[in-house]
Amino acid sequence: MTFSLLHATDFADRLLYKIIPPLKAGMIVLADRYAYTAFARDVTRGVDRQWVRDLYSFAVRPDLTLYFRVPIDVSLDRLLARRVKLKFYEAGMDLGWSANPVESFRMFQGKVLGEYDRLVEEFGLEVIDAAPSITVQQRLVRTLVTKHVETSHVEAVDDEPL
Amino acid sequence: MTNPSEPGPGLEGGANGGIQPGRYYGRGIPYLPIEGYPGKLIAFEGTDGVGRTTQIQLLREWLEVKGYGVVETGWTRSPLMQPTIELAKSSNTLNKLTFVLLYATDFADRLEKEIVPALKAGFVVLSDRYIFTAMARAGVRGIDRPWLRSLYGFAIAPHLVFYLNIDVKTLIGRVLEARGMDFWESGMDLKSGDDIYDSFRAYQSKLLREYSSMADEFHFRVVDARRPVDKIQDELRKQVAAFLEPVEKPVEATAAP
């Protein structure tokens, strides 16, 4: 509960200082994670699903939300390739489900992914398959963003493979 | 949306009236069951300088002499959040919404770490301010009231809520005698003017109205706080005794001096 409210406090501060002013100025705001992360993570930690939605009702609803969906094994491989240890909270070790970080990560993130699937339905998130290469994903991202943003000023998309 | 297969609480966050003491006001904390705990939660509400803390000290001693285990908790006393809140207050960079959430975080920490364990172990918990101060301050600052009620839906309904009621004129005299007017207690953040006296008077009047608008909804026991300390204490002891030891109540009238 405290964890959930602490994140909401941080979110409110960023919303009011970093998100709303540029939106008022007509700029495009790219948010790396948004309230949906809190919905998935906090509910997995046992917070009431409706309560956390009500809590974040002060948030601005995004014009477009991209959800990069990836199987647990792929995300585990990527994380373990980058660094030696999984982060304590990322693996849900605080919940005490398993003393083994990899095992705990599987259990915790499995539930988090389940919550995300629910959010896709509820809030109409655009799902992007995050297993393929960065280039393939980026093309899809550009296609989706183009539908929402005035593209006349945007540079042409690079067609050449990297 | 809520999964219908889950045993969620029957009440929406907005409807707080008529909640049984010792239960969650709203949607509660699903992983933290609290029903049937032997402890009692007694909240003391009232504006800044009304005399809550003095009354709680006296009541605590009295309860302990009678053999009760007593735990005290107070607003912004969470070890986790207190330094952050102090920092935020001193730097004046926080938006009112962020402040509301910081206070709620502090409360959540104390609820889980202090209040619930104490209730489980059968203590009498005396809370120096409860969620109503937070709701009054936020309400005065224009935060949406239904949202506030939903936010604090994880709070436990106290067994007793004493509201120490005072008029602004008496309050001003008392605060000036004791320690003077402080920036936040005068609502200077609302920037209604540079004069601290005028601001204090306007802000505290609004706060008092906000408290009294909650009195029915949350079953406040209103105590006239303009009286001398010992008179107020007598009334509190009578009411607390009647609640904790209902059978002994008639005996009290004939007790030896």
Token readout for A60 is 């601005």
8 Å CB contact between B61 and B237: no
Q: Per-domain residue ranges for chain B?
A: 40-165+222-235
C-alpha to C-alpha distances, B108 to A53, B50, B115, nearest whole angstrom: 17, 25, 10
Q: pLDDT tens across B118-135, in order?
A: 999 999 999 999 999 999
Residue by residue, DSSP assigns A25-92 as TT-----SS-HHHHHHHHHHTT--HHHHHHHGGGSPPPS--EEEE--HHHHHHHHHHH-SS--TTTTT
Residue A161 lies in a domain: no
Residue by residue, DSSP assigns B11-62 as S-TT--TTPPTTSBSSS--TT---TT-S-EEEEEE--TTSSHHHHHHHHHHH
Distance from CA of A64 to the nearest CA of B (A): 20
Q: What's the rounded mean pLDDT across residues B55-59?
A: 96
Residues A6, A3: Cα–Cα separation, whole Å: 5
Judge whether B112 is closer than 8 Å to chain A, CB to CB: yes
What lies within 8 Å, CB to CB, of B206 at 6+ separation is B140, B187
User: Between A1, A51, A58, which is nearest B13 by CB?
Assistant: A51
The pLDDT-based confidence of B52 (bands split at 50, 70, 90) is very high
User: Where residue A104 sits, what CATH number does that domain have?
Assistant: 3.40.50.300
Token readout for B171 is 């309050």
CA B42 to chain centre: 9
Residues B61, B236: Cα–Cα separation, whole Å: 13
Residue A26 lies in a domain: yes
Residue A31 in this model has a pLDDT that exceeds 50: yes
Residue A72 lies in a domain: yes
Q: What's the rounded mean pLDDT across residues B66-95?
A: 79
* pLDDT at B16 (0 to 100): 47
Residues A69, A117: Cα–Cα separation, whole Å: 9
Looking at per-residue pLDDT, the higher value among B245 and A42 belongs to A42
Q: Do A54 and B151 touch (CB under 8 A)?
A: yes
Residues A141, A106: Cα–Cα separation, whole Å: 27
* pLDDT at B7 (0 to 100): 36
Residue A107 lies in a domain: yes
Looking at per-residue pLDDT, the higher value among A76 and A49 belongs to A49
8 Å CB contact between A110 and A92: no
What lies within 8 Å, CB to CB, of B249 at 6+ separation is B241, B242
Residue B66 in this model has a pLDDT that exceeds 60: yes
Q: What's the rounded mean pLDDT across residues B228-253?
A: 82
* pLDDT at B93 (0 to 100): 63
A residues 53-72 lying closer than 8 A (beta carbon) to B: 54-55, 57-58
Distance from CA of B31 to the nearest CA of A (A): 5
Q: Do B105 and A2 touch (CB under 8 A)?
A: yes
pTM for the structure as a whole = 0.80
Domain boundaries, position A128: 2-148
Residues B149, B13: Cα–Cα separation, whole Å: 6
User: Between B95, B109, B151, which is nearest A16 by CB?
Assistant: B95
Backbone torsions φ then ψ of A107, nearest 5 degrees:
-65, -50
Of A32, A40, A130, the C-alpha closest to A78 is: A130
Fold classification of B40-165+222-235 is Rossmann fold (3.40.50)
8 Å CB contact between B25 and B162: no
* pLDDT at B194 (0 to 100): 84
Q: Which helix (H) or strand (E) segment is B213 a member of?
A: helix B196-214
Distance from CA of B151 to the nearest CA of A (A): 6
Helices B168-178 and B196-214: angle between axes, nearest 10 degrees: 130
Q: Do A12 and B28 touch (CB under 8 A)?
A: no
* 3-class state of residue B71 by DSSP: strand
- Indicate which of A6, A47, A56, A123 best probes the interface with B, i.e. most B CBs within 10 Å of its own CB: A6
Interface contacts (A, B; CB < 8 Å): 74
Residue B250 in this model has a pLDDT that exceeds 90: no
* pLDDT at B233 (0 to 100): 97
Of B223, B120, B226, the C-alpha closest to B167 is: B226
Residue A33 lies in a domain: yes
In DSSP terms, B44 is beta-bridged to: B128, B162
* pLDDT at A127 (0 to 100): 96
The pLDDT-based confidence of A79 (bands split at 50, 70, 90) is confident
Q: What's the rounded mean pLDDT across residues B65-84?
A: 84
How many domains does the structure of chain A reveal? 1
Judge whether A13 is closer than 8 Å to chain B, CB to CB: yes
Q: Which residues of B touch A16 (CB under 8 A)?
A: 95, 97-98
Residues B46, B225: Cα–Cα separation, whole Å: 9
Q: Which helix (H) or strand (E) segment is B222 a member of?
A: strand B221-224
The pLDDT-based confidence of A76 (bands split at 50, 70, 90) is confident
Judge whether A18 is closer than 8 Å to chain B, CB to CB: no
Q: pLDDT tens across A139-157, in order?
A: 999 999 998 887 655 555 5
The pLDDT-based confidence of B253 (bands split at 50, 70, 90) is very low
CA A41 to chain centre: 10
Q: Which residues of A touch B147 (CB under 8 A)?
A: 54, 57-58
Q: pLDDT tens across B146-190, in order?
A: 999 999 999 999 999 999 999 999 999 888 888 888 888 888 888
Name residue, tokens 């941080």.
A10
Judge whether A50 is closer than 8 Å to chain B, CB to CB: yes
* pLDDT at A121 (0 to 100): 95
The pLDDT-based confidence of A75 (bands split at 50, 70, 90) is confident
Residue A160 lies in a domain: no
